Amino acid sequence: MKVEELQHEGLKKWIQEAVALMQPEDVYVCDGSQQEYDAMIKKLVDSGMATPLNPQKRPGCYLFRSDPSDVARVENRTYIASKSQDDAGPTNNWLDPVELKKTMTDLYRGCMKGRHMYVIPFSMGPVGSNIAKIGVEITDSEYVVVNMHIMTRVGKKVLDVLGKNGEYVPCLHSVGKPLAAGESDNGKWPCAPLEKKYISHFPETREIWSYGSGYGGNALLGKKCLALRIASVIARDEGWLAEHMLILKITNPAGKSKYICAAFPSACGKTNLAMLVPTIPGWKVETVGDDIAWMKFGKDGRLYAINPEAGFFGVAPGTNMQSNPNAMRSIEKNTIFTNVGMTEDKDVWWEGIGYDAPGKLIDWKGNEWVQDKNNKAQEPAAHPNARFTAPARQCPVMAPEWEDPNGVPVDAILFGGRRPSIVPLVHEAKNWVHGVFMGSIVGSEITTAALDLKAGTIRRDPFAMLPFCGYHMGDYFKHWINIGKKTTEDKLPKIFFVNWFRKTADGKWLWPGYGENSRVLAWIFERCDGTGKAVDTPIGYMPTIDAIQRPEGVSEADMKELLAVDIEGWKKEIADIRENHYPKFGSKLPKELWDELDAIEKRLQK
């Protein structure tokens, strides 16, 4: 499709301005068709940037390798450029929006010389849903185009909904390296050096400008940039929630279903929970989404959630048939693999896939690699943040209603982190504000010295949103409290805190996790139904010792430890929140959360 054919005059003007600034060879408006996807893939294969995988083992699958400097989100180059620095808050990087746009405009000038410009109209959420939002990404990366095809709904149907004057979020992206005549990208996507990478968000004008990186979260601008950083600001202004949460459907043996959203920091099993295979007979779990939930109030006063994405952008290392069989089945075909190892017969391999490397591999840097288990210092075959991009429809346990434009009614919200002690297996908030308090203190223990934190300290990640909230987190907590005032307490989701990661004093796991987590979900289901057995404790409602079916290998003594309130441990936890965590948010921390802290401390003293 040509730019001149677009009906939306504002969109047309914006594209023409970008063309004048970036000076591409030509411009192509994406239609979202299979033919378009196939043509892009062919181009990438012909250029050496994509390697087709074994069609017998991985039909329709391709492997990409990035520049070693461009393998993950660059948080220290990610900016919230609000007009006032105070609006960005203490947990975001801020730059003045006027100065930042000047800097980036200079970088964009001529940056697409020798390259094609692609215009990607995309919908976050089912096309036409009242919870969905439209974005348009301009990019010079075919890798971005094919990934956006999988991760979002792309093309003409989006333009039809946009019409002549609909709202969209403009997203500018360039890999940041013009091509000289006859020059190629040498089989790896190009990128700019770190000091020239910018992933910039302008909350007031609802714009995203990204330069210098080809990696997923920095370049697929529908993902974290629109779906969380910009959407969280829109949600605050419009009175809904844009959250870093999975959505699952759980059905009991009687055929009754409930919907649960859950927010965990990274490496806490979010995708595994979204695709859980329950170990309790008769129970079923299905996936609505594995990463992001947008929740709006329905006419009945309940919150309804959609998954704004159409695919999975998952971490490959550690994914295997035991940890997540449904993810493994989702990536058997039509999947893009990035920075994994490749076997001699052109299949994929990564650390934690569940079996040894089958002979000689090509590692993620393109070098020959042979597994040496005796060499602890051996570089991995797959980058630790290696990824797969797969269509969600391929997951064998997608809930039939995962694309319902009205969303699904949320019965429960879970928070969790990796905590070897203190935090019990599960506890339930006394009310909505107490639940917001629980979300505000989410954290995981640092297991090795990293990021200037010593092992054993807690890295707090409130609501698992710390890298993704587009405004001041104190205001974000207040927004959550205000959401609770928009309806009656009985219509709000119940809030729980879970911790699958408890250990004994000698470092053994107390709880087996994975499919056994369904036993905790069953109790949460019963609590939402008003039937689950619980006791009132200083930190919230907790299951009675017999309320959760014990898995094999977990003793009654283990269960007592998992469900005990560690009074002294919680007193230290409260002190840490009071002295180190809450003061970060200054005068914007809502009084309700200080009051909640005082109330829990009093209950613990008793």
390 and 406, same domain (yes or no): no
Confidence band of 447 (pLDDT split at 50, 70, 90): low
Residue 131 has pLDDT above 90, yes or no: yes
Q: Average pLDDT for residues 178-201, to the nearest whole number?
A: 87
Helix-helix angle 432-440:591-605, to 10 degrees: 90
* 321 or 266, higher pLDDT: 321
The predicted pLDDT at position 458 comes to 86
265 and 355, same domain (yes or no): no
Q: Has residue 49 been placed in a domain?
A: no
Structural domain ending residue among the three candidates 394, 417, 442 = 394
Dihedral sign for Cα atoms in the order 11, 16, 20, 26: positive
Side-chain half-sphere CA neighbours of 6 within 13 A: 27
Q: Has residue 40 been placed in a domain?
A: no
The predicted pLDDT at position 606 comes to 87
CA nearest neighbour of 409 among 293, 521, 283: 293
Q: Has residue 219 been placed in a domain?
A: yes
Averaged pLDDT of the chain? 95
247 and 286, same domain (yes or no): yes
Helix-helix angle 473-483:432-440, to 10 degrees: 160
Residue 449 has pLDDT above 60, yes or no: no
78 and 18, same domain (yes or no): yes
| Whole-number Å distance between alpha carbons of 181 and 204 | 40
| Whole-number Å distance between alpha carbons of 433 and 455 | 31
Q: Say if CB 142 and CB 44 are below 8 A apart.
A: yes
The predicted pLDDT at position 177 comes to 84
492 and 545, same domain (yes or no): yes
Confidence band of 451 (pLDDT split at 50, 70, 90): very low
**What would the two tokens of residue 311 be?**
């695919």
Residue 290 has pLDDT above 70, yes or no: yes
CATH of residue 332: 2.170.8.10
Q: Has residue 519 been placed in a domain?
A: yes
The predicted pLDDT at position 450 comes to 43
The predicted pLDDT at position 350 comes to 98
Span 142-160, pLDDT tens digits: 999 999 999 999 999 999 9
199 and 271, same domain (yes or no): no
Confidence band of 266 (pLDDT split at 50, 70, 90): confident
197 and 263, same domain (yes or no): no
111 and 162, same domain (yes or no): yes
| Collapsed DSSP state (helix, strand, coil) of residue 564 | coil
CA angle 329, 332, 336 (to 5 degrees): 120
Give the pairing of strands 534-537 and 540-543.
antiparallel
| Collapsed DSSP state (helix, strand, coil) of residue 534 | strand
Does the pTM of the predicted model rise above 0.75?
yes
Structural domain ending residue among the three candidates 342, 368, 394 = 394
Residue 455 has pLDDT above 90, yes or no: no
Name the domain count of the chain.
3
Q: Has residue 283 been placed in a domain?
A: yes
- Phi then psi dihedrals of residue 523, to 5 deg: -65, -40
182 and 259, same domain (yes or no): no
**C-alpha 401: how far from chain center:** 20
The residue segments making up the domain with residue 260 are 243-307+402-605
Q: Average pLDDT for residues 396-405, to the nearest whole number?
A: 98
CB atoms inside a 10 Å sphere around CB 538: 15
| Whole-number Å distance between alpha carbons of 524 and 303 | 18
Greatest extent of the chain over all pairs of C-alpha atoms, in Å: 77
| Whole-number Å distance between alpha carbons of 85 and 240 | 24
Q: Say if CB 199 and CB 225 are below 8 A apart.
A: yes
| Collapsed DSSP state (helix, strand, coil) of residue 356 | coil
370 and 284, same domain (yes or no): no
Residue 253 has pLDDT above 50, yes or no: yes
Residue 513 has pLDDT above 50, yes or no: yes
Q: Say if CB 58 and CB 50 are below 8 A apart.
A: no
Confidence band of 294 (pLDDT split at 50, 70, 90): very high
Residues with catalytic function: 268
Residue 293 has pLDDT above 70, yes or no: yes
**What would the two tokens of residue 430 be?**
């006394």
347 and 453, same domain (yes or no): no
Confidence band of 456 (pLDDT split at 50, 70, 90): low
Structural domain ending residue among the three candidates 223, 238, 253 = 238
CATH of residue 79: 3.40.449.10
Q: Has residue 54 been placed in a domain?
A: no
Residue 511 has pLDDT above 90, yes or no: yes
Q: Say if CB 474 and CB 585 are below 8 A apart.
A: yes
Q: Has residue 61 been placed in a domain?
A: no
CATH of residue 562: 3.90.228.20
| Whole-number Å distance between alpha carbons of 74 and 197 | 8
| 344 burial via Cβ count (<10 Å: 0-12, 13-18, 19+) | exposed
| Tokens 């920075």 sit on residue | 339
370 and 434, same domain (yes or no): no
Q: Which residues share a beta bridge with 497?
A: 415, 427
Q: Has residue 50 been placed in a domain?
A: no
CB atoms inside a 10 Å sphere around CB 114: 17
Dihedral sign for Cα atoms in the order 210, 216, 217, 223: positive
| Collapsed DSSP state (helix, strand, coil) of residue 458 | strand
Span 462-501, pLDDT tens digits: 999 999 999 999 999 999 999 999 999 999 999 999 999 9
